Each structure stands twice: as C-alpha cells, then as structure tokens.
Structure 1
Amino acid sequence: MVSSTHWLASQSAMAVLESGGNAYDAAVAAGFVLHVVEPHLNGPAGEVPIILAPAGGEVRVLCGQGVAPARATVEHYRALGLDLVPGTGPLAAAVPGAFDAWMLLLKDHGTKSLAEVLSYAIGYAEDGHAPVERVGETVESVRALFETEWPSSAEVYLKDGASPKPGELFRNPQLAATWRRVIEEAEESAGDDRVAQIEAARAIWREGFIAEALVRQAGRPTMDTSGTHHSGTLTAADLAGWSATYEAPATYDWNGWTLCKAGGWSQGPAFLQQLALLPDELPAYGSAEYVHLLIEGCKLAMADREAWYGDADPQGVPVAALLSDEYNAARRALVDGKASYELRPGSPLGAAPRLSAHAHAVAAGDDGFDALGTAGAGVGEPTVAKSGDIPAVAKDGDVPAVSNSGDQEVGADGATRGDTCHLDIVDRWGNMVAATPSGGWLQSNPVVPELGFPLGTRLQMAWLEEGLPNSLTPRRRPRTTLTPSLALKDGVPVLAFGTPGGDQQDQWQVHFFLAVALRERVRGGLDLQGAVDAPNWHNDSFPGSFFPRGMRPGSVTVESRIGEEIIEELRRRGHEVTVGEPWSEGRLCAVARDPETGVLSAAANPRGMQGYAVGR
C-alpha cells in the first residue's frame, strides 16, 4: 500500500513494489518523483526526516535535515543588519539533506539499483508531466522576481514567458540531465556493484559536480526577503563534511499504542506531549469540549516547543522530562473552560524557559505582529523584515491567506511560505516507512543553472539570538516542523502517517490519530479514510516557525463542516474562530497493517484532489 500527496508519486512507488522492490525502494522512487511534480513544495536540496520500521526490526529515524554551514553564525547575520534569517535566498540555505538521506535509505534498506529508482523521476522531468494548478500559481506569484532577479529560474519555469499550466506537459530537462549524469558517473566508478554505485552518487553530491554547482550558486549575491542582495555561507567543506544519520525515535505510550517521532530537533515531541496532556477520561469525540481540550493542550505543547526544542544546546532537549506524567499533570491543570491568550512554556527541569526576544515581542503584541508578520493598526512598521506586501489576517468567516501552517504563499517581492509533501508505504513483508520531504522550493532560491533545482531555506527557522535551544549555530540543525509519524500497537508497527502543513503538522496528526484510535473499526480494519476526512482545525497561538515568525493569540481556524453549534460554543469560550472552507484543514496520508491478518489499508487526503492511495 502507498499513500502520498501526489498521484504520480504513489503510482511510481506502486510500480516499484509490483516489480519486486520493497517499501524503501518505493519510497526513494516516490521521493524523487515528488521533487519533479511538486517543485513548489520540495526539492533535492531540501530536507527529509524518515521513520522506518523494518519487518521484525527496530524503529529508527533517518535524519535528512542538514546543519547550518560553518560560517553561519549569529554574529555574521547581525553584522549584515538582520534581526531574522531571510525567508528566501542563499543566506537561508542549510547544508542540503534530502538527497543523501534518500541514498542512505536505498543503500541500507533497499534492493533496487540507483538507475531503477531514479528512472521514474527522470522520465517525468524529461518527457513531461501535467502540473497541478499550484505550480503555475506559485510561478506567477514570483514572475517579476524571476524575470528581473532570478533568470535561471525563469529559464526553467517561464518557458517562452509562460508559467506551467494544468493539462499541458511541463518538462525540466536540466534536472533529468543531472540525474542521468549522476547515474553515468556512479556506474563508471563502481561498475555493477549496487551499494558502491549508491556510495559513488553520495560522493558526487558531496564533492563532485553537484557540490561544485551548489557552492557556486550559494556565492552569488541574490535578492532575498530582506530587500537586499546577499550571498550565502555554504562551502565545499560544509557539503563534504555532512551526511544523513540514524537515531532512535522519541516515543510515548498511550492506551496500548506507542507513537514514534523524530527528536527535539524537530517538532515531533510536541505531538507526543499533546497525548501526554490528555486526561484519562476524554469528552465525546468531536464535541466542542473535545475540540477545546485539544486546542488548549496544543498551545501548551507548542509553548514548550518554543522554549525547549532545538539542536543548539549541547545538553540536548529534555524530551523525557517534557513527556513525564508529573510534568504534564501540572501542565494539564492550566487548562480550564476558557481559551488562553498567553504563551505559557513550562520548566520541566526547574530551569526558566528560554524564549527569543522576538518570541516575547510577538507574544506580547509589542511589535504589532500577527501570524502573517503584518503590522497592527497604530503600531508602526514591522521591526523585523522588509518583506513587502503580505496578505492581512482573514476575518471570521474567511479563510486565512497565510498562517503558521507553512502553506505555500508568495509575497509581491518573493517573500514565501513553502509547504511540504508526504508519503507512507507498507509492503508485502511488513516493512513500513513514513517520510516528509520539504524545502528546496522553486520559490526559495534561484534554480542552480547547471542542475535544474534550487537551494533550500531551512535556516529561516533558527533565531539570530545567542543562548537559545534554536539559535543559529554552525554545524547544528535548525529546528524543523517536518514530522512523520509511526505507531505501534502492543509493540508491533501498524500505522504510518503524516501531512504537509508546517506548524500545523502535529496538530492535524494528533486529530487524525485520535480519530483512528477512539472510533470503532470498520470493515475489519482501521478506518483510515474516515479519520483523514473528519473535520479538522488548527491554532496559531504560538510563534510561527517561518519568516517573519508571527503569531495570533487565541486563534483557531476550523473547517465549516465542524458545525455551527461547535463554532458558537468555541466562540463562547473565548476562541477567536476563523471559519474556513469545508475541506481546507489537513492533508494527511496514511497506511496501516493488521498484524494478525496481514491485511493492508491506506488512505489519502481528498482536500486539493491530488493526494492518492493505491494498493493491491
């Protein structure tokens, strides 16, 4: 079974499975197809966290999140007059992580050759595919930037002056040529040895023609969201010195389930803490009291994320303390019948929580920023960025133009919020994998002329202030929102799931998981599609992870399908409710395996009409 955010990726993965490949071969093939068909949502120079559960083996996290370059210091960025890392341009580029992570997965757990898994992406890049509407919409949003500042991007995405259109074949021959050259050079140096070929490809990325092109691009002064041209900090030594790594997952046991997430360099433990904050007796599923409880628990978990998560502190993130029964019993007592408008991080080890000055400012409303970074009336101009025209916050009854979700949106000067992809696969042997590729968006940086894809911008998620868990720190990972999930029941892997959505990912996923866990089984298995389809919601009552890092205290955005009675009750409790379109919240994918019968199931998000679940 396969579920992903694009039907061509799902079908490519299924083709690999049908040809005898396993879940990991299929995941790599699908991942590279997603780079081609959703270039506004992910790319090879972005990042990907992967959770894998080999049949009969140990659950592991494969970290494809690159680190900050050696020269990416707070002092350097401050010397440029910056208070935040720009949302676009080479200054925001971490060491690219996605390619090496996919290659490591293929080498260690796959069975197919490099040429076999890349053939699907090469085909769609070379022969063309019919792009989804959002690709062309994104390109149109940055047309002026491409035409005046980023000509290499215009060459790929504005062929004869026209942006990609649905129903018309779109090609990226430069990208296809890049992968063909990688395969040819790997085969020349390694012969027929599958593993040696993959290692050769990793070396080409880190030290060969790809590395050389990436470093040249990083050194080119580029217009970014600060309104100024900057060159980046990425060097050949940075690329040569980093590789993807395995680590143990963060876990939490809840009612016979064990939930597995990436560690505190991601936001994954916030999912686990939301479960830890739940009382023993839950309100009726889907009731106003139930929704209120989850919203308020999420605020507490995300406040702790802001104060304690990151990769900069050598002591690490106190995940065990944050998930402890004693700590969450005290935190749970903060939830009452009214909506909270405060950012309330706790002290899991007795030390005072550490928040950036910017987070304090947006929490207090001192600089007038909401989640969009829009200056409030009478407050004056934004103090953190010259980001151009950014859409205003929606009024009740309207869908927000942008939120902490990471939903892809582009400002008039190229200020962007990129989004993400997701895939889940389970094969006939019971191997299971969940992956959330993101970054390296077409709107994040200029296309590298020799390669056909751009650098990423993940450093925008780190703070330009010393002494914080998520301070910009050389050779350390910026905290990421990317957060695939894997669940075990009575110790056996049964469910892989995830979603795009930035800061919303571990909100929508909690709602999905509880919909699976609390509702009755149907047709002899987990009701995955029912849980994906259930009305969803999110809040932005904490500092966002993306430039310009704002928040909307007390906010909650709901799908209109949730019902007027619940909406009115939430408002009575003090929530600032925005009512969105009926199918506007959540973009989940999921696969499952019944350990007793071996029956597989899958579900995909109907919102946007491009997610696709397939199996046989």
Structure 2
Amino acid sequence: MAAFTTRPEITGTFGVATSTHWIASAVGFGLLEKGGNAFDAAVAMGFVLQVVEPHLNGPGGDLPAIIHSAREDRIRVLCAQGPAPAGATIAHYRDQGLTLIPGSGLLATVIPGAFDGWLLMLRDYGSLPLRDVLEPAIHYARHGHPLLDRVSDSIASLADLFRHEWPSSAATWMPGGAVPTGGRPFRNPVLADTWDRILREAETARGREAQVDRARDCIYRGFVAETIDAYLREACVMDGAGARRKGVLTGQDMAGWQAHWEDPLTLDHDRWTLCKPGPWSQGPVLLQSLALLREAGIADMEPGSAAYIHTVIEAIKLTYADREAYYGDPDHFDIPMEHLLSPAYAADRAALITDRASFDQRPGRVPGLDHLARAAIDRAAARHEAEVGSDGGEPTMAHLSNRRGDTVHVDVIDRWGNMVSATPSGGWLQSSPVVPGLGFALNSRAQMFWLDEGLPTSLAPGRRPRTTLSPSLALRDGKPWLAFGTPGGDQQDQWQLAYFLRLAHGGQNLQEAIDAPLYHSMHFSASFYPRQANPGRMMIEPSAGADVIADLRARGHEIEVSEPWSIGRLTAAARDPDGMLRAAATPRLMQAYAVGR
C-alpha cells in the first residue's frame, strides 16, 4: 500500500510544470498546451512569479538555472547573476562608515540579472514569440491577481518605512495609501506598462530571435537602464544599516553586462550524477556533502533516524565551512573546486564526524590557502558575538528595511525531454524602493560580499556575489531524470540534500520525499545581513518525532523545533526512460503546485 501523501505525485506523458505558486504552474502548463517547450514555459512562469510573489523575487533580481536540451543532448547552467558595479569598491563602502554591506537599500544593489537571463533562455532554446511568454505576466500585473496573505503582511510590516522613506514603494504597494488586503485582486499597472513598452519596441525587429535581442537591448541599453540610471543619480534612501545612502549602479554598468551559459559541476553518486552551478553559487556544497556522506556510510543508516540526521547535519557544517572559506567568483579567484570535490578530501573530512555535535567552524585544509580558512573562522566568531544592531532593538526605520526576502523556484519538463530547474530571487518589494516609472525594485545581492580584502567573496567591481541560489538537475543511469530545487537562502542545499538522499537511498517517490520531515543547520556564517553564525544550532520539524529530537539533543545539538509543516518549499519534476513524467510540490505555505498530464 502506498504511503499517505498530502498530494498525489503528478504523472503523465505530455508535460509537467511545478513552481512555488499555483498561478505560475498553471501558466507554464498552458504554454506547453499551446505548443511551447519547457523553456518557453519556464520563462513565462518566471515573469509571472515576479508579479504574484513580489516579496520573493522581481524583475530587478537575479537568476541561476540549469537545463537539459533534448535537441543538443546537453546540460548547461545559465548564469544571470549580475556582478558588482564599477563603483562598488571596498574603499567606497568603508568611507560610508560600513563594516558590512546593508541588507537593503541602494548600496546593496548589483546589476539586475533576471531580465537578461530569462530572455537569453528564450532566445537560445525557446520556440514561441516573446509576446506569448510575456502576456500572462502583463495580464496579471494589469488586471490583478489574488494577493497572497504573506505579501499583504510584508507590506503591512513595512508601511511606515514606505510612507516616510520610500514613497515610490508606497505608491506601488499601497495604492490609495492603504495596505492591500490578502486574497483580493492586486494590480501593478506601472510594471505592466514597462513590459508593454518593451514588447512594442522589441516587435520593431523582424524574427523571433531578433525581437528577443531587441528586448534585451531595450532593458540594458534602452529606456529601462536610462530610467534606473537617472533615478540612482539622485536617490539617497534609508537602508538596513540605518542611514540614507546613494547607490553606485549606473546605466553604463548595465550596458556592459550580459547573462551567459556555463558548464555544470558534477558528482557521481552510485547510479546518479548530480549537476550544479559553480562556486559563484553555493551549489557545490551539495556535491561536497554527498561525497562526504558516502564516505561516512550514509547508505547503510536508517533514513530519518537520529544517527542519520546527526550525520547529515555534521556533514553540512563541514561543507558550509568550506563554502565560507573558499567559494566565490571563479573568474576573479582561483577556487580550489577540484581539491574540494576529490575523494581523498571527502574521506579526510568524513573522518571528522563523531557521535557528538560539533560547535567549531572547521574549513578543510587546502594547500596555500590556510589564511582563507583562518579568516572564515574569525568572521564566524565575530558575527556570533556581535550585536545584531538595527535588527535587534526597537523597530527603527533601519530595522524595518532589514526585512529579508526569499526566493521562488520553477521545474518544467516537456514531452521531448527538455528540462529546466530555475531559482529566481532578489528585487524583493522589501529590498529597495521601487524605481519610479518602472514598477519594480532593484536587488540587494551585494550584501553577500565582505568588506575585507583578499577573499574570494571580497567586494570588487565586476565580481559576482557568492549567491545562495542553487537549482539542481540529476541524471540516473546516465540519463537526465530529475529537476528540483527550493527557495530558502542558506537552507536551499540543505533541504535539497535531505530530499535527494530520500530519492537515492530511501526509495520514496517525489511527493513522499517532499512531505517527509525537514531540518537544517544554522551553525555557519549566514549569507544575509547581519551575517550571524549560530554554532551548534539546528532546526527540525516536529514530525521527525519526539524520540529522534530528544536523541539529537542528547548528542549535543542545540535544537529549535519549528512549527509543523513550515520548513522548505521544494518542488521537483522527473522523466523516466519510457517517457513517463512525474512532478511534485510542497504543501508547506500552501502555495506551490505541480500540474501535468
């Protein structure tokens, strides 16, 4: 008898689309029904998510994706993570009195990447005209969509900041001066006008690909970039560090940048090959964790037991310590990925796991880079002891502007075997003021840089921040089988690790593995302002069981038990060798849905 799940595992042969919002999933499947492929569907879903989940992503945000092209029989990573602007120097930020980059405001902005990333995917792999994939998002922006309660709550918590410090955001998110009501239609006509103008200008070109490229030019070298440039020349706004500051992004920065394709990093794990973005994301921690856990004998442990969860959490502490020491933009720093993914290194690291919870930050030793390990340990210690500052006292304006956003996720597979896993984020309604005349905000991804010299993650012009965004694609027996991912910042690859292990070793189907209890560590330096570490602390859902939780506490873990059904927003889609398609979506937060037939 099959196990009870909150929803069925969706199956079919025509196509599957799954995402963190039911409207986006329906739109994506509608594009498949219209004759589009997985790439057309994913792009349409991405733009719709900017409308219906504006507290989690926006047009001014960023985008990594990993795809399989059936035509090319090739897996590629799309990097639409914009780099730091030319004026983003450590000296300039230090001169502003900063030791950390604020979590919101204009100094936290890097070049917006999501626009160009989605359009590059559409140009190179899509089949439908630009209008077909943009019209659903324009419709929901202009005519309205049922506002999520969480969006209404986010706006309510920021209402005073919007009124007194970010008036352009008040005009967009509080029409008529009032916080919009959850569940009622909400519109963003200015954003719809922006997209309509992009379409009109793009359609002056002849041919689908030429129109997509014209749209890219319109955004990065046309009226959108010009509007952003003009706004940032004058704007001086309250940020998360408690002062009004100007940004450094310019139209020239935008004009000189484009999204691009890369090869994935891969790791073989039994009959599986897991594919991830490079160390400009946190994606390699999933590969490192799998390599380490294989050495630790995870396949022989009882899934869900205290010993099993303890071993996974201890592995995560070790791999995330390496993330903090060694990851960054490989175009600007020689990242030792070959060493970090080697079997010998994994064996050495696995030997550090004992039956007790570790409270130490323990980056591995990489020859010639001992100073990076020491620096990561020192940063974690400093941020563990530091006062939270504007996040910790009375609700000042700075405190209000530190409301962190999150992320969305998309998985699509079509009947030809094309696959997309994408994790867009940034440009949240709480990240910075809405750019007047455009209807969207810029991102705050620069907060992931450090204002110290000599690190892989030191702030520098042209350097990509080491993002947390981390979509996944897995092959089984050499054939592309699974696209999956989740929002969740530092937790993304922790939840994906737990999920993948259940599929690889637990024999669960896509939905069963999503519904099972989730957990994560908070041991290491966080990627978001104020960058704190919480040594030894982990969070776990109560459905893991009282005996398991008690056993973990006895092993020394500092346990925070979450509310039921509150951790993770995983979605996944798979394609069997016979063409059977599968999809699943988390019931947590009651927003994500899988659609297929």
Q: Aligned partners of 2:162, 2:546: CA distance in 1, in Å? A: 44
Residue 181 of structure 2 is aligned with which of 143, 151, 165? 165
Aligned to 2:454: 467
Aligned to 1:414: 401
Aligned to 2:334: 316
Aligned to 1:610: 591
Greater Cα offset, 73-82 or 162-171: 162-171
Counterpart mapping for 1:543-562 below 5 A: 543-562=525-544
Residue identity in the other structure for 1:530: E
Counterpart mapping for 1:67-78 below 5 A: 67-78=83-94
- C-alpha deviations, 1:64-105, integer Å up to 9, x for none? 100000110111101111001111111010000000000000
Aligned to 1:379: none
Q: Does 1:583 align with 2:565?
A: yes
Q: Does 1:592 align with 2:536?
A: no
Aligned to 2:313: 295
Say if 1:411 and 1:76 are closer, same or farther in 2 by CA, change over 3 A.
Answer: closer
Q: Does 1:61 align with 2:43?
A: no
Q: Aligned partners of 1:411, 1:591: CA distance in 2, in Å? A: 40
Quick check: 1:227–1:387 contact (8 Å CA) kept in 2? no
Say if 1:115 and 1:390 are closer, same or farther in 2 by CA, change over 3 A.
Answer: farther
What is the CA distance between 1:364 and its match in structure 2? 2.8
Q: Aligned partners of 1:129, 1:123: CA distance in 2, in Å? A: 9
Residue 551 of structure 2 is aligned with which of 547, 569, 594? 569
Residue 183 of structure 1 is aligned with which of 180, 188, 199? 199
What is the CA distance between 1:556 and its match in structure 2? 0.9
Aligned to 2:12: none
Aligned to 2:249: 234
Q: Aligned partners of 1:13, 1:313: CA distance in 2, in Å? A: 34
Residue identity in the other structure for 1:110: G
Quick check: 2:384–2:532 contact (8 Å CA) kept in 1? no
Residue identity in the other structure for 1:68: A
What is the CA distance between 1:356 and its match in structure 2? 8.1
Q: Does 1:495 align with 2:513?
A: no
Quick check: 1:47–1:97 contact (8 Å CA) kept in 2? yes
Quick check: 2:17–2:596 contact (8 Å CA) kept in 1? yes
Q: Aligned partners of 1:557, 1:125: CA distance in 2, in Å? A: 37
Q: Aligned partners of 2:419, 2:585: CA distance in 1, in Å? A: 16
Aligned to 1:509: 496
Say if 1:503 and 1:94 are closer, same or farther in 2 by CA, change over 3 A.
Answer: same
Q: Aligned partners of 2:132, 2:246: CA distance in 1, in Å? A: 37
Q: Aligned partners of 2:149, 2:393: CA distance in 1, in Å? A: 23
Aligned to 2:3: none
Q: Aligned partners of 1:609, 1:346: CA distance in 2, in Å? A: 40
Say if 1:69 and 1:241 are closer, same or farther in 2 by CA, change over 3 A.
Answer: same
User: Percent same amino acid at aligned positions?
Assistant: 54
Say if 1:355 and 1:40 are closer, same or farther in 2 by CA, change over 3 A.
Answer: farther
What is the CA distance between 1:313 and its match in structure 2? 7.0
Quick check: 1:12–1:30 contact (8 Å CA) kept in 2? yes
Quick check: 1:282–1:290 contact (8 Å CA) kept in 2? no
Residue identity in the other structure for 2:230: R
TM-score for the superposition, normalised by structure 2: 0.94
The alignment yields a C-alpha RMSD, in angstroms, of: 1.6
What is the CA distance between 1:387 and its match in structure 2? 4.2
Aligned to 2:27: 12
> The residue matched to 1:59 in structure 2 has which SS?
strand
Quick check: 2:241–2:398 contact (8 Å CA) kept in 1? no
Residue identity in the other structure for 1:325: P
Aligned to 1:524: none
Count the aligned residue pairs. 576
Q: Does 1:249 align with 2:267?
A: no
- C-alpha deviations, 1:489-542, integer Å up to 9, x for none? 122100000000000000000000111111236xxxxx0000000100011100
Quick check: 2:149–2:183 contact (8 Å CA) kept in 1? no
Higher helix share: 2
What is the CA distance between 1:265 and its match in structure 2? 0.5
What is the CA distance between 1:412 and its match in structure 2? 3.9
Q: Aligned partners of 1:434, 1:224: CA distance in 2, in Å? A: 33
Greater Cα offset, 156-165 or 573-582: 156-165
Counterpart mapping for 1:444-463 below 5 A: 444-463=431-450
Quick check: 2:240–2:399 contact (8 Å CA) kept in 1? no
> The residue matched to 1:550 in structure 2 has which SS?
coil
Aligned to 2:232: 218
- C-alpha deviations, 1:309-343, integer Å up to 9, x for none? 01177343111110101011111110000000000
Q: Aligned partners of 1:551, 1:312: CA distance in 2, in Å? A: 25
Quick check: 1:556–1:578 contact (8 Å CA) kept in 2? yes
Q: Does 1:537 align with 2:553?
A: no
TM-score for the superposition, normalised by structure 1: 0.91
Aligned to 1:479: 466
- C-alpha deviations, 1:24-61, integer Å up to 9, x for none? 00000000000000000000110010100011511000
Aligned to 2:4: none
Quick check: 2:332–2:463 contact (8 Å CA) kept in 1? no
Counterpart mapping for 1:118-197 below 5 A: 118-188=134-204, 190-191=205-206, 193-197=207-211
Quick check: 2:279–2:330 contact (8 Å CA) kept in 1? no
- C-alpha deviations, 1:369-422, integer Å up to 9, x for none? 4xxxxx3xxxxxx5xx5446489xxxxxxxxxxxxxxxxxx9743112110000
Residue identity in the other structure for 2:274: L
Aligned to 1:204: 218
Q: Aligned partners of 2:210, 2:23: CA distance in 1, in Å? A: 29
What is the CA distance between 1:365 and its match in structure 2? 5.5
Counterpart mapping for 1:346-365 below 5 A: 346-354=364-372, 359-361=376-378, 363-364=380-381
